[in-house]
Each structure stands twice: as structure tokens, then as C-alpha cells.
Chain A
Amino acid sequence: MFAYIVRRVLQMIPTLFGVMLLVFVLFNVFGGDPSLVLAGKHLTAESLANIRAQLGLDKSQFAQFMIFVKQVLTLDFGTSWSTQQPVSDIIGSRIGPSLLLTGSMLVVDLLIAIPLAATVAYFRRGLTDRIVTICCTIAMSVSALVYIIAGQYWLAYKWGLFPVSGWGNSAFHNLWYYVPLPMLMGLMVSLGPDIRFYRSFFVEELSNDYVRTARAKGLSERVVMLKHVLRNALIPVVTTVMMSLPYLLIGALVLETFFSIPGMGNAVVLAVNNSDFPIIKAITVYIALATMVFNLLADLIYKLIDPRVQLK
């Protein structure tokens, strides 16, 4: 297993280099000139040149790429071009709110989606299955913006069940006061596809021979579902969850914007609007790294769930 991990880690290097090259070309070659935005309304050729020199944009593309490589290797992306705060401070202060929102959303989503998917798969083609499937399809067809606008209007403003938006300084207070409405709105969007997706895994597992054998052996339906079907169906579920974990870091752009949540999503929107490349580059690299690491973790977890899986 150790050799496998080493091999996978080594494979990450060219992948990361590719990501860096892509990000660099996108922003430094095709992206607009950020000094134009940063110079304010009285910009002159001289002030632009001064800003470009301060940002290092007057250096050759190769020199700028080497600086980027150094930043990635040291994980020090310098300071934000617009707020001049250290990028690490910005990311450090923004990751908590994002994880609180997206993390709690993922947990609740899994707690609802997996049992519901297993239940409807068990009763497949029955009335429950049809009702849940139809509800999921309808829920999936509605735009997230519609949920947010309607939720803020009815649940928060009209009925006063939640605050319209906002964020406090205490994680516990945020969790029970500010998170529920955006989480609910997020779940409205994510539950539909997740239930249908997980249902298909359970349906597939339920039609396998080992289920028939287990039943023939006289095992109870509870044991069949929980011990055999659930365990096997969890492999694709783990894949899906592990692949979604890196995106928890980036937050929920729309939810954070509408609910004034000071998370990574909000920081990304602000950085894009301000052409704040150090933040954009840092977040992109972190997400790429997280994706590769979680991908590896997913493979390792397969082995734990199902010892038959061979890591080669």
C-alpha cells in the first residue's frame, strides 16, 4: 500500500504542474490587465506603470511563472492585490464559514439522502418510489435562485422563521441561527439529484445474486439491507462524497452571496470582480491539491470498505 501511495503522490506533481500552467495562461495571457481596475478613476500611464511594477506585471511571463511556481512550492501566495492582506489570512478567515455551511449541508444531505434512497430502492416501482422520484425530479428542475428568492421572501421575511441574511462571530450561534435557511435552500437543490443517484446504486445492489442468496439463507431484510446491500452500495457513495469534499472548501458561491456569509465563495466572487489574481491562483491550486488528495483517500477507503479491492 505504501508503494501505491508514493506512486500516486508522485503522479500528482505533473498534474499540479499542468493546473499551474493552465491557471497562469488563463490569467496572465488571456485575462485582462488588473492594474487598470486597481488604479482607480484617475489612472494615468505613469500610475499604471507604477502599479504594474508593484504587482510584478512588468516582469517577463517566464519570470512571473517562476514566481508562481515558488508560491505553490512554499504555499505562500503573497498578498491580495486589492485589499493587500496576506492571501493565507484571507483564506484562513474564509474557510471556516464555508465549511460550516457546506459541511453541515453535506452531513444533512447524506443523513437524508442515503436512508431515503435505500428505502425507495427497497420499495422500487411502488408508490413511495414513484412519489419520491417525482418529487426529486421537480426539485431538480427548479433553479437554486428561485429557492433562495422564495425562501428569503416567505420563510425569512413573511413568516420570520429565519434571519434574511447575516453571519455572527460564534460558530455555534451561526450554526443554529444563520446556517439553517441557506442550508435548507442548498438541500432543496442537492437532495433531488443525490437521492436519485444513490437510489440507482441500491437498486443495482438489490438485484445482485448475493442478495438473493442472503434472503435464501433466511437472513432478515434488515440484515440484508444494512449488512450486505448498504456496505456494497457505499463504494460509489464514498466516491461521490470524496469527490465533492474539495468543493466544500470553495464554499457555495450563490448561497454565500445572497446570505452575506463571509466564506470562500464570497472571496472568490470578490477576487474575480477585482482581478485579484493571487487569491484566485491560491484557491485554484488548493482546490486542485485537495481534489488529488481526496481522490487518493477515496481509493484507500475502498480498500477499507471492501477488502476485495486491489490497490495497484
Chain B
Amino acid sequence: MRLRALALMAMLTAACATTALAAPDPDKVLHSSFNAPETGYDPAKTSDIYSHGVMENIFEPLLTYDYVARPAKLIPLVAKSMPEVSADGLTYTIHLQKGIYFADDPVFKGKKRELTAADQVYALKRIADPATGSPSNYLVLGHFVGVDELAEKAKNSKFDYDAPCEGIKALDRYTLQLKLKQLYPALPYVLAMPHTSPVAREVMEAYGQNSLAHPVGTGPYILKEWKPGVKTTLVYNPNFRHVVFDFHPTPGDKAGEQVAREMNGKTMPQIGKIEVSIFTEEQPMWLAFKSGQLDELYSIPQPLLRGVLNMDPKNPRRAALKAEYRKAGLKISRVLDPEMTYWDFNMQDPVLGGFSKEKIALRRAIAMSFDTDQTIRDIRRNNAVRMEYTIPEGVVGHNPNFRYQYEYNRPLANALLDQFGYKIGPDGYRTTPDGKPISIDFLGDASAVGRQWNEYWQEALDSIHIRVTFRPVTFNDLLKAMRSCTYGMVGAAWIADYPDGENFVMLNYSKNIGAENTACYNSPRYDKLYLESQKLQDSPERNHLYDEMNKVMMEETPWLPGETRFRNRMMQPRVLGDEVHPIFQVSWRFMDIQK
């Protein structure tokens, strides 16, 4: 019992410990950058990574990640300890810390407002409320007992937040109970997403539709100013309970050790004000950083990578800052994003889709004609690694030993097509085994990079005598075609919502056609394995199922796997404690800056 208590204490203090209040120096201002505009700062209403990054500093979910632990490790944040899970895995009980207060807001009429379990209940129900229009509703709907019924009723009337809900309820002021319809292995990760952070009901009701501009959380910062798409300014939240950094990185993790050296013993946060500027153009961002106007770059723009980094052409993992930048004391933190890119074959397309051997041979030949390594070198500037498994590195369930067997081999691709009766006609292009002409409807965007990809694909498909028509469309139309299965081939990408394999393997589940399953892949074999995996927590058994699902995909070829890209954050010498975390978008609350 005593040992358990000690272990619990150690876990709680792994990242931080409570201490006396001490406000950060308001003159410590961090100037940071984003590469694209944010949407706004309502946890339930936004899903883009930039809004997510800002909200990480304003809101606090029940759980979070240890800043220096690699791979990413969950720890309690608003919760007093990790959730207590019933033996059947269907009931989660979570005790909240006492004495956590929301940032001051006129809605609270001058009173300090403590965070309670009811706020978490409200936040989760709000995600399910159709009136919220939450892009994160998939995290709640279909999982918790009684919530879907409330959401269904709300289609014809207002969502009844006061109606009892067995699946999401507060047992007392500081205890939350979640009851699931079936196992939900990703739930702890979901409870660490900013989207599920507790929010004050009175604040949301007061600001109504304008909640994106009025975030009120319990985190270390509050929103001072927001000019959409241009600038966001955060300042220290005086109501934030102060904690002392006490990081314990994995031995041998040099970056983590550096963070611990620079930050341990200091109170959180150290920076009084954060100004985030949005740069949609690369040159001004880079020059602003080089001239010292910016303290950190969210990510080095792709076209500049070769000028900034020395990269091993044979191994994209080996990269270091060029000597001129090292000499200037500039720093870099580099991590593989929990994401993957892939090329969808539309499995419902009359030319490419289907499960007959001829159709599989056609898709596989196309996959074998494309040199992914070359595009990693030329288009990605060596800033990516090949994707060899449908769950990327750093995500639970990834198998580093699995290799997709789509060897880049054009003679073999041609031989495969010959073998299955795809004859070359007098015009130099192949026809189907029953003599019909083939033309692939290749969907893409009209940007310079989009055209660059088209050139590589044109060359690849010409090499196997397959005719292709590129169809550049707007982003809306691209999404529409992908969701309605009205295209031949298209490039796609997926970044983890949470670092669990389930968030990736669901991309090919047939019930997700029209949503995330953009290959429109309807494989009974894959579905059966997927549904079995849904019943399991992270375990060797679940990993085995994931391997089997990858094998099915490899055989049926609904995708050509692409790559996983690196995120390269750059900092000025004066910035301390800044390290790219695989899940957090920004590190501001863990950092310091020398004046």
C-alpha cells in the first residue's frame, strides 16, 4: 500500500510539483510563428493544429503528456491521478484536483471560479451537441452510454445539458464517471486532447457563437488579443496554480537532459507574454527569424530546408544545422510527426477499383512504378522517411519491422500488367484485359507543389504505359470527390488526433467510407480484423491484428504508402527548454527566454 502511494506520488511529480505563487517576468516576451492561420480558440469547435497549439496553453484537459518522455507518455493534469478503470474496461472514474481555477472573466462577476467535474461533463456533452457543430464529435458520439440519445433528441430541440446521462456524469464535485458502450482503448488519449478540456458552462453560454474569440481555461496563459490569421497574443494567467518543473528524461536522451538542465527548479510558466505571428509566406518568416525578430520558428519551411540543414541523402534521420547557423548559436529540435501521407486508389472506381486479381495487379503495378524515395529527395527535400506501416512511428501499435512489399521496379510492374492481359495498344497506352482504354482520373490541386507531384506521376505512369488525366480542383471539390468516391487516384495525409494505432487503422474501415476512408475501401477481411482490434487494449494481441490488417492492405492495395515528415523547430540561442514534442504543437508553457 505504501509502495503504491509512493509510486502515485512519483507519477504525480514526474513532470511538476505544486509550489508557491510566483508570476513570470512580464518583460519576458516570446515571439513565435505559425506557418498557417488558426481557426479560433473554442476547444469543441476547432480541429486545426495551430488553434490546437494555442489552446494547449489556455485549456487543460484531464490528462496530458510528460514533456520529455519518449515515446509520448500520458500523465495526469487536471485529474489527480490516472483514471481508475473497471475490470471490464467499460467504466472510468477520474478524480479531479481541487483548487484549480479558471482565468478571470467578466462572466464570473469578479468571483474566482473553481473547476469541477461538472465542467468536464458539460465539455464532453457540448462536443456531442449538434448545435456546437464540433468537428471532434466522433470522440464522444457512439462511445458513451446515453449521449447519442441526447444528441438525437437535440436535432429537434435544444440539447438538454441538465438531463441525466449515465455515460458522462459527475459523482461529486471532484469525481467524474464515464461509462462506455464498448471498449474505447483510445479514451485516455482522448482525455488528453485540448478539444475535451473542461470549460465553464456560463462562459460558453454568455459568448454563444463568438466562443472562438473568448477562450477561458485553467491553463498558464490567457488570450489577450486575437487578430485572426495575423496575430495572437497570450499573457500569463494569474489564477494559474504554480508548479515547479521537475523533468526526468530517459537516460541518454540528450535533448530531454538539456531541457531538464535548463528548466528544472523553475516555476511554470517562465514567459510573461507570447506573441504568435502567422506567416503564410516563407521569406518574411525566415528573415524575421534570422534578424532576431522571431524567437522560434514553428517549422522550417520546406523550400528552405536544404539551405539550413546538412542532411544525409541516404538517411533523412541524420540532419544537423549548417555550420553558419550553429556558429550563431541557433538551435534546432527535430521530430517525426505522428502522420503519414498516402496515395488513395479509389476502390469504387470502374478503372482502378475492385478486388479481382486483374484490378489488384493494376494497382500494384502502379505502386511499383512510382519512386517514393526520389520524391522524398526531390519534393520533400529529404525531410521525410518512407511509410512502411499504416501506423506511423511514435504511435502506439507501430511495427518498425514491417515493410510494405511494393518494390520500385518498373520492368516488373510492366511484366505484371502484361501477365494480367493489360495489352499496349497502337497509341502506346495499355487497355484493360477486355480491350477497353484505361485513363486514370488523377485528382490534385493546382499549386506549384501539386504540379510537381503530377510531373513525377506522369513519368511513372508513362513508364508502364498507363494514360492519366490530372484534374486540378479547389480544396472543397477535392474533399467532395474524396468523400463521394468520384475520382481515380488522389494524394492524402493523416496526422494523429491521438497517438494510438486505432486513429490510423480506422482510415480503412468500410463504415468510414464517406468520411475518413477516402480510398472507399470495403474489405470484409480488413473489417473483420478491425472490429476484433476494437475489442482490445494496447497488447501483443492487438499488434498482431494490426500486422494482419497491414498484410491485407498490402495484398489488396487500396493505397500506395507515402512518407512521414519531420517537423523542424528552430530557436534563437536565448530560448531555453524548447523541444518538439510528438503530440504537443508548441512548448511555450515549458520554456524560458533570456532577456
* Cβ-closest chain A residue relative to B47: A40
Query: A21-64, CB under 8 A of B: which get 1 and which 0?
Result: 00000000000111011011111110100110010000000000
Q: CA of A257 to CA of B494 in the docked complex: distance in angstroms? A: 28
Choose among A79, A83, A165, A259 the residue that contacts B228 (Cβ–Cβ < 8 A): A83
Q: List 28 A-B contacts (CB under 8 A).
A: A32-B474, A32-B480, A36-B476, A37-B479, A41-B47, A42-B136, A44-B138, A45-B514, A47-B133, A47-B137, A50-B133, A82-B40, A84-B210, A84-B211, A86-B210, A93-B227, A152-B284, A153-B283, A153-B287, A157-B291, A163-B293, A165-B284, A166-B277, A166-B293, A169-B225, A262-B227, A270-B228, A270-B229
| Interface residues of B, count at CB 8 A | 47
Main secondary structure of the interface of B (DSSP, over half): mixed
- Asked if A85 and B135 sit within 8 Å, CB to CB, the answer is no
- Asked if B133 and A152 sit within 8 Å, CB to CB, the answer is no
Chain A residues, CB < 8 A from B227: 93, 262
Could you say which of A34, A149, A257, A267 has the most chain B C-beta atoms within 10 Å of its C-beta? A257
Q: CA of A169 to CA of B483 in the docked complex: distance in angstroms? A: 44
Asked whether B21 is an interface residue with its Cβ less than 8 Å from the other chain, the reply is: no
* Cβ-closest chain B residue relative to A41: B47
Q: List residues 222-274 of chain A with CB under 8 A from any CB of chain B.
A: 257-262, 266-267, 269-270, 273
Asked whether B279 is an interface residue with its Cβ less than 8 Å from the other chain, the reply is: yes
Chain A residues, CB < 8 A from B213: 83-85
| Residues of chain B having any CB pair with chain A under 8 Å | 37, 39-40, 45, 47-48, 130-131, 133, 135-138, 209-213, 225, 227-231, 277-281, 283-284, 287-288, 290-291, 293, 474-477, 479-480, 483, 494, 514-516
Q: How far is the CB of A45 from chain B (nearest CB, A)?
A: 6
- Asked if A85 and B284 sit within 8 Å, CB to CB, the answer is no
Q: How far is the CB of A118 from chain B (nearest CB, A)?
A: 37
- Asked if A83 and B279 sit within 8 Å, CB to CB, the answer is no
Q: CA of A42 to CA of B517 in the docked complex: distance in angstroms? A: 10
* In the complex, the 3 A-B pairs of residues with the closest C-beta atoms, listed nearest first: A40-B135, A32-B476, A40-B47
- Asked if B210 and A164 sit within 8 Å, CB to CB, the answer is no
Q: List residues 103-129 of chain A with CB under 8 A from any CB of chain B.
A: none
Asked whether A275 is an interface residue with its Cβ less than 8 Å from the other chain, the reply is: yes
Q: How far is the CB of A154 from chain B (nearest CB, A)?
A: 10
Asked whether A65 is an interface residue with its Cβ less than 8 Å from the other chain, the reply is: no
Asked whether A18 is an interface residue with its Cβ less than 8 Å from the other chain, the reply is: no
- Asked if A42 and B293 sit within 8 Å, CB to CB, the answer is no
Q: CA of A101 to CA of B262 in the docked complex: distance in angstroms? A: 43
- Asked if B228 and A164 sit within 8 Å, CB to CB, the answer is no
- Asked if B291 and A160 sit within 8 Å, CB to CB, the answer is yes
Q: List residues 177-230 of chain A with CB under 8 A from any CB of chain B.
A: none
Chain A residues, CB < 8 A from B47: 40-42
- Asked if A44 and B514 sit within 8 Å, CB to CB, the answer is yes
Q: How far is the CB of A117 from chain B (nearest CB, A)?
A: 33
Asked whether A287 is an interface residue with its Cβ less than 8 Å from the other chain, the reply is: no
New A-B pairs, 14, CB < 8 Å, besides A169-B225, A259-B284: A32-B474, A32-B476, A36-B476, A36-B480, A37-B476, A43-B479, A43-B515, A84-B212, A85-B212, A160-B291, A163-B293, A164-B287, A167-B230, A269-B229
- Asked if B515 and A42 sit within 8 Å, CB to CB, the answer is yes
- Asked if B281 and A258 sit within 8 Å, CB to CB, the answer is yes
Chain A residues, CB < 8 A from B479: 36-37, 43
Choose among A79, A82, A267, A275 the residue that contacts B476 (Cβ–Cβ < 8 A): A275
**Which bracket fits the contact residues of A?**
35 or more
| Residues of chain A having any CB pair with chain B under 8 Å | 32-34, 36-37, 39-45, 47, 50-51, 54, 79-80, 82-86, 90, 93, 149, 152-153, 156-157, 160, 163-167, 169, 257-262, 266-267, 269-270, 273, 275
A40-B47, A157-B290, A164-B284 as given contacts; A84 in contact with B279, CB under 8 Å: no
Chain A residues, CB < 8 A from B280: 257, 269
Q: CA of A50 to CA of B288 in the docked complex: distance in angstroms? A: 42
- Asked if A164 and B288 sit within 8 Å, CB to CB, the answer is yes
Q: CA of A33 to CA of B482 in the docked complex: distance in angstroms? A: 14
Chain B residues, CB < 8 A from A80: 228
Chain A residues, CB < 8 A from B277: 165-166, 260
Q: CA of A36 to CA of B476 in the docked complex: distance in angstroms? A: 6
A37-B476, A84-B211, A258-B281 as given contacts; A42 in contact with B133, CB under 8 Å: no
Q: CA of A90 to CA of B280 in the docked complex: distance in angstroms? A: 20
Q: CA of A252 to CA of B76 in the docked complex: distance in angstroms? A: 48
Q: CA of A80 to CA of B40 in the docked complex: distance in angstroms? A: 12
Q: CA of A36 to CA of B518 in the docked complex: distance in angstroms? A: 14
- Asked if B293 and A164 sit within 8 Å, CB to CB, the answer is yes
Chain A residues, CB < 8 A from B37: 270, 273
Chain B residues, CB < 8 A from A164: 284, 287-288, 291, 293
- Asked if A41 and B516 sit within 8 Å, CB to CB, the answer is yes
Q: How far is the CB of B571 from chain A (nearest CB, A)?
A: 18
Q: CA of A248 to CA of B138 in the docked complex: distance in angstroms? A: 45
Chain B residues, CB < 8 A from A269: 229, 280
Q: How far is the CB of B131 from chain A (nearest CB, A)?
A: 8
Q: CA of A208 to CA of B228 in the docked complex: distance in angstroms? A: 54
- Asked if A260 and B133 sit within 8 Å, CB to CB, the answer is no
Q: CA of A7 to CA of B64 in the docked complex: distance in angstroms? A: 67
Q: CA of A204 to CA of B345 in the docked complex: distance in angstroms? A: 66
Q: How far is the CB of A22 from chain B (nearest CB, A)?
A: 19
Chain A residues, CB < 8 A from B40: 82-84
Q: CA of A60 to CA of B375 in the docked complex: distance in angstroms? A: 46
Chain A residues, CB < 8 A from B230: 167, 260-262, 266
Choose among A33, A41, A85, A259 the residue that contacts B210 (Cβ–Cβ < 8 A): A85
Could you say which of B213, B230, B476, B483 has the most chain A C-beta atoms within 10 Å of its C-beta? B230
- Asked if B514 and A90 sit within 8 Å, CB to CB, the answer is no
Chain A residues, CB < 8 A from B210: 79, 84-86
- Asked if B133 and A54 sit within 8 Å, CB to CB, the answer is yes
- Asked if B483 and A43 sit within 8 Å, CB to CB, the answer is yes
- Asked if A260 and B284 sit within 8 Å, CB to CB, the answer is yes
Chain A residues, CB < 8 A from B136: 40, 42
Chain A residues, CB < 8 A from B283: 149, 152-153, 258
Choose among A39, A42, A93, A260 the residue that contacts B279 (Cβ–Cβ < 8 A): A260
Q: CA of A51 to CA of B134 in the docked complex: distance in angstroms? A: 9
